[in-house]
């Protein structure tokens, strides 16, 4: 259910920002940003800072790998908005065919065993969390994922398990591929804060 306040803004400041950013970018401001403007306590500074740190902070995973992880979590949660948004960012630093192959079936995609093991861990964490065991982590570690890398991947998973659910609950509008690409360049440059 989309609240009218999310679409247009609920304060003079948010209404003005939505209009200004949409006009300057030449595209409709994505709903993820609209939600951040609407509910500053939930989707504003705290979630933005956590997301920014996880997606752009120091990590053994590249930005593109973390964006691919976000797109995969979105895929497992059937969130077309987040799949499109994070796929568009991942392809800036990764081969588009590789990203699409992962979204089709990461088990057969041309990626490193380390990344494949991390995605296997994240899939279990997202889809079948009751099946996640120490053995799940040990398999990822045996494939070359470090403890820090597994922790970073789990943080991506946690954030996007929250974000994909509110994107679906609020029925985010799905932008065109061109608008996803424009947003991707802005998010890559600006980050999540």
Q: Which residues contact 80 (CB under 8 A, 6 or more apart)?
A: 74, 174
Ranges 30-39, 69-78, 158-167, 183-192: which has the least confidence: 30-39
| Least confident among 2-11, 144-153, 178-187 | 2-11
- Residue reference for tokens 């998010």: 187
Closest CA to 71 of 99, 43, 51, 105: 99
Q: Report DSSP letters for 90-116, one per residue.
A: HHHHS-HHHHHHHHHHTTTSS--HHHH
pLDDT score at 124: 98
Q: For residue range 71-119, what is the model confidence (pLDDT) as tens digits?
A: 999 999 999 989 999 999 999 999 999 999 999 999 999 999 999 999 9
Please check the confidence at residue 38 and state whether its pLDDT lies above 70.
no
Out of 96-100, 103-107, 154-158, 163-167, pick the least confident.
163-167
Q: Residues 142-158, buried b or exposed e (16+ Cβ, 10 A)? A: ebebeeebbebbbbbbb
CATH code: domain of residue 183: 1.20.1290.10
pLDDT band at 33 (very low <50, low <70, confident <90, very high): low
Predicted confidence band at 42 (pLDDT cuts at 50, 70, 90)?
low
Range of the domain at 9: 4-190
Secondary structure letter of residue 11 according to DSSP: S
User: Residue 34: is its pLDDT beyond 60?
Assistant: no
On average, the pLDDT of the chain sits at 86
User: What are the residues whose beta carbons fall under 8 Å from the beta carbon of 144, sequence distance 6 or more?
Assistant: 112, 113, 114, 117
Cα separation, 110 vs 127, in Å, equals: 23
In three-state secondary structure terms, 153 is helix
2: left (phi over 0), alpha (psi -120 to 50) or beta: beta
- Per-residue pLDDT at 118: 98
The number of domains in the chain is 1
Q: What percent of the chain has pLDDT over 70?
A: 80
Predicted confidence (pLDDT) at residue 177 exceeds the cutoff of 60: yes
CB 153, CB 125: distance < 8 Å? no
């Amino acid at each position: 259910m989309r609240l009218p306040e999310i679409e247009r803004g609920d304060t003079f400041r948010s209404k003005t920002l939505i209009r200004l950013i949409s006009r300057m970018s030449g595209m409709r401001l994505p709903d993820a940003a609209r939600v951040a403007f609407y509910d500053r306590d939930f989707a504003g500074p705290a979630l933005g800072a956590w997301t920014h740190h996880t997606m752009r902070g120091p990590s053994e995973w590249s930005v593109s790998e973390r964006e691919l992880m976000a797109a995969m979590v979105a895929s497992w949660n059937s969130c077309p908005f987040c799949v499109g948004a994070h796929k568009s960012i991942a392809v800036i630093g990764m081969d588009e065919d590789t990203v699409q192959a992962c979204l089709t079936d990461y088990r057969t995609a041309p990626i490193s065993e380390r990344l494949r093991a991390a995605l296997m861990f994240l899939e279990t964490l997202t889809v079948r969390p009751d099946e996640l065991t120490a053995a799940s982590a040990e398999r990822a570690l045996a494939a070359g994922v470090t403890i820090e890398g597994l922790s970073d991947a789990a943080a991506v998973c946690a954030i996007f398990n929250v974000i994909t659910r509110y994107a679906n609950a609020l029925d985010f509008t799905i932008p065109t591929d061109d608008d996803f690409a424009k947003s991707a360049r802005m998010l890559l440059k600006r980050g999540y804060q």
